[in-house]
Amino acid sequence: MVERGSLRLPLKNYGTGVHELIILAVAVLAREDSLIGIEEPEIHLHPLRQKALLRFLIEKTTNNYVITTHSNAFLSRPKDSAITHLWLENGETKNRIVETHACLGSSK
């Protein structure tokens, strides 16, 4: 059962995004002070839920995260975090810290 105010609905009545959020929340809350990789957590989530997930990860856990994403919600960088652009060049992984979203289009 999932409760929202006075409304109680079985979990099966919710979409894939809610199911994945619950699994992710349980997984990250089971660890403390860990480095966790999450691949495209925005899949199946409304942009408002994406922002809520990011707030949850920052405010309710003690982990560090490496997140691959195409979502502006996750790219709206919170304080004390960084966006790092990674790319492959001649068989070598390159990286740089991105200062603005406009810089994401170029690998150099």
Distances in Å between the Cα of 41 and the Cα atoms of 46, 47, 84, 99 are: 11, 11, 17, 22
- Give residue limits of the domains in the chain: 2-76
Distance CA 18, CA 24 (A): 10
67 Cβ contact partners less than 8 Å away, ≥ 6 residues apart = 37, 38, 39, 41, 74
Distance CA 104, CA 85 (A): 7
Distance CA 18, CA 23 (A): 9
pLDDT tens column, 24-83 = 999 999 999 999 999 999 999 999 999 999 989 989 999 998 888 888 888 776 666 777
**pLDDT for position 100:** 56
103 pLDDT band, cuts 50/70/90, is very low
Instruction: State the DSSP string of 90-102.
Output: TTEEEEEEESSGG
Q: Please tell me which residue, 33 or 100, carries the higher pLDDT value.
A: 33
